[in-house]
Amino acid sequence: MPDADASPSVTDPAGLQGSLTPVVGCDDIHLDLPGRRVGKVRVSYALAAGRRLFVTTDRLSAFDRVVAVVPYKGQVLNQLAAWWFHQTRGIVANHVVSVPDPNATIGVEARPLPVEVVVRGVITGTTSTSLWRQYDVGARTIYGHAFPDGLRKNTRLPEAIITPTTKGEAGAHDEPLTCVEVVERGLVGSEMWTQVQTAALALFAFGQRIAEQAGLILADTKYEFGIAPDGSLLLIDEMHTPDSSRYWEASSYEDRVGRGVEPESLDKEPIRLALDALGYRGSGAPPVLSGEVIASTTIRYVAAYERITGTRFVPGTYPVEERLLAAFNREGLLGSRPRRVQE
């Protein structure tokens, strides 16, 4: 098994521990709305006036596969992303119109760029697209960046770098790209790609500063961008969440890295490490994760939310569908009851 203390001994910030067992996480939702799209974590629907409804479920993905359902995770992702979108609206415009429910966001219907924009401040990772996994098997030019011999896992890079990947469909693996290839393959135009890189690096630098104030290290993150109806660039999907980012405890980082121990994480990296230790890297059916692992993931995500935002997490009610229905009726979005997908 992986080093168990890669998952820090966080407190139960929102008092959730006693209520986790009876809660069944939200794994999917069907609404009486057109244009349904299903991603690894989110379900979205078309709305009038060029807008789209995004519902964040409790599904957790690793190695490009859905591997678990984690109660309250969807709420943490949606609310934390909304907080970051608001904080960074002066850096780059984003798609958010409103947040009608803790698990839902209404956004501008943008045309997603077919590239995931990953910004990395350290060399780490366990997935096939991670810097460390490629470096560890001998690669020294990765994503078009040259790396010297002798680097150690989880150490800082001299400066943040952009490592783009293709955007795989649900169940498909992402593929590494260089920044040059993004333009050469016609995935993004040269001028637009320059805007994307500038925005991504500025967002990451801002995120690192906020994380530092919370006693955390923003090690890396993933951004997604889209084109608005007027042709302008928009930041879409999510940002700086424990799903799309690695957050490490700053206070113990130097000591642990010096000892060759995994940093304490407030993200889903302990899930990746647990699966990797079981020999799972995305092929076939994933192992069943224990209730303890699921519960600790909820607590870890909530702790990240509270430390970053400086506000207390207020758990939404379950089942999520009842709450969503009330919120959407207030917004005038639908007139029928959402129903759970039957397994």
Per residue in 254-310, pLDDT tens? 999 999 999 999 999 889 888 989 999 889 999 999 999 999 999 999 999 999 999
Domains of the chain: 4-331 (3.30.470.20)
DSSP E strands in 27-181: the ranges are 37-38, 42-46, 51-56, 59-62, 65-69, 96-101, 104-108, 111-112, 115-123, 141-142, 145-146, 155-162, 165-166
Q: Under a CB-based contact definition with an 8 Å cutoff, are residues 154 and 257 in contact?
A: yes
* Banded model confidence at residue 154, pLDDT cuts 50, 70, 90: very high
pLDDT over 70 at 64, yes or no: yes
Flag whether pLDDT at 5 surpasses 50.
no
- pLDDT band of residue 22 (cuts 50, 70, 90) is low
CB 274 within 8 A of CB 251: no
pLDDT of residue 174: 82
Amino acid at 87: Q
Location of structure tokens 């040269």? 190
User: Looking at residues 312-323, what average pLDDT do you find?
Assistant: 92
State yes or no: pLDDT of 2 exceeds 80: no
Quickly state the pLDDT bin for 321 (edges 50, 70, 90): confident
pLDDT in tens, 72-81: 999 999 999 9
Tell me the torsion sign for CA atoms 193, 194, 199, 204: positive
* Residues 84-115 as b or e (16 or more Cβ within 10 Å = b): bbebbeeebbbbbbebbbbbbbbbbbbeebeb
Q: How far apart, in Å, do the first and last CA atoms of the chain sit?
A: 31
Q: Phi/psi at 265 (nearest 5 deg)?
A: -115, 140
DSSP-based three-state secondary structure for 118? strand
The predicted pLDDT at position 3 comes to: 41
DSSP states of 288-327: PPPHHHHHHHHHHHHHHHHHHHSS---PPPSSHHHHHHHH
Name, in order, each residue with C-beta under 8 angstroms of 69's C-beta and a sequence gap of 6 or more. 24, 25, 26, 27, 57, 58, 59, 60, 294
Position 109 pLDDT exceeds 80:
yes
Which amino acid, 5? D
> What pTM does this model have?
0.90
The mean pLDDT value of the chain amounts to: 91
Cis peptide before 319 (omega within 30 of 0): yes
